[in-house]
Structure 1
Amino acid sequence: MKSIPRTGMSAEEHLIVDAGNRIRFADERMPAILATPWLVAHLEYAARAAIAPCLEDNERSVGTFIEVEHLAPTPEGSAVVCRARVIHVDGAVVTFQVEAHDEVELIARGLHRRRVIDVDRFARRVARKQTKK
C-alpha cells in the first residue's frame, strides 16, 4: 500500500433507482423498488472508493464480509446515496461502517470488510482454480 487507510476515510456512491437495479418481481400490486443486491453492490463500491487512493497500482481491495440491514423501500426514480467510512484497519483488512439514504430516510446500514490484495497473485490463484475444473 502507498499509505495505510485511516479511520474516518470515506466515499460515496450515487445511484437512481431504475429498471436495471430494481426488484424483478414488481407487478400491479408490488411496487418497483431498489433491489437489495444492487444496494449492497453500491455500498461495496463506496468502500472500495474510500481506500483506492491508498493502493499501489498492483493492488485492489476485495469484499470479504458484509452485514447490511435493508431498512426501507426506495421507489423507482428515487436518488440514493451510499456511504462507507473506515472504522478499523488490521493490516490488509479494512472494516467500514456503511449506510444508504434516499431523499426521505435512512434505507440501509451495516458493516463491510475488504482485504487489500496483490492483483497478480490473485489472478494466479484464480487461474489455478480454472485448471482444476
Structure 2
Amino acid sequence: MKTSPRAGMTGEERITVDETNRIVFADARMPAVLATPWLVAHLEYAARNAIAPCLEEHERSVGTFIQVDHLAPAPEGTSVVCRARVIHVDGPVVTFQVEARDDLELLARGIHRRRVIDADRFARRVARKRERLGG
C-alpha cells in the first residue's frame, strides 16, 4: 500500500433506481424498488472507493464479509447515496461502517470488511483453480 487506510476515511457511490438495479419480480401488486443484491454491491463499491487512493498499482481490495440491514424501499427513479467509513484497520484488512440513504430516510446500514490483495497473485490463483476445474 502507498499509505495505510485510516479510521474516518470515506467513500461514496451514487445510483438511481432503474430497470438495471430494481427487483425482477415487480408486478401490479409489488412495486419496482431497489433490489437488495444491487444495494449491497453499491455499498461495497463505496467502501472500495474509500481506500482506493491508498493502494499501489498492483493492489486491489476484495470484499470478505458484509452484514447489512435493508431497512426501507427505494422506488424506481429514486436517487440513492451509499457511503462507507473506515472504522478499523488491521494490516491488509479494513472494516467499514456502511449506509445507504435517499432524500427521505435511511435505507440500509451495516458492516463490511475488505482485504487488500496483490492482483497479479490473485489472478494466478484463479488461473490455477480454473485449470483444476477443467476449464
**Letter of the aligned partner of 2:23 in structure 1?**
I
The amino acid that maps onto 2:69 is E
Could you list the structure 1 runs, at least 4 aligned residues long, displaced by more than 6 angstroms after superposition: none
- Once superposed, what is the RMSD of the aligned Cα atoms? 0.3
Q: Residue 82 of structure 1 aligns with which residue?
A: 82
In structure 2, what residue type is equivalent to 1:87? Answer: I
**Post-superposition shift, 1:31?**
0.4
- Name the counterpart of 1:92: 92
Residue matched to 2:121: 121
The CA deviation at 1:8 is 0.2
When the two structures are superposed, what TM-score results if normalisation uses the length of structure 1?
A: 0.99
Cα deviation, residue 10, structure 1:
0.2
2:120 aligned partner, one-letter code? D
Equivalent residue, structure 1, for 2:53: 53
Read off the aligned partner of 1:57 and give its amino acid letter: E
> Could you tell me how far apart the structure 2 residues matched to 1:62 and 1:11 are?
15
**Structure 1, unaligned stretches of length 5 or more?**
none
**Stretches of structure 2 lacking an aligned partner (at least 5 in a row):** none
Aligned length: 133
Q: What is residue 18 of structure 2 aligned with on the other side?
A: 18
Report the TM-score when normalising by structure 2.
Answer: 0.98
Percentage of matched positions with identical amino acids: 76
CA shift, 1:103, in A, is 1.2
| SS of the residue 1:53 aligns to | helix
SS of alignment partner, residue 74 of structure 1: coil
TM-aligned CA deviation for residue 34 of structure 1? 0.2
Instruction: Spell out, residue by residue over 1:55-103, the C-alpha distance to the aligned partner (whole angstroms, 9 max, x if none).
Output: 0000000000000000001100000000000000000000000000011
1:111 aligned residue: 111
Give distance in 2, aligned partners of 1:79 and 1:120. Answer: 36
Distance 2:69 2:41 in 1: 14
Deviation of the 1:25 alpha carbon: 0.2
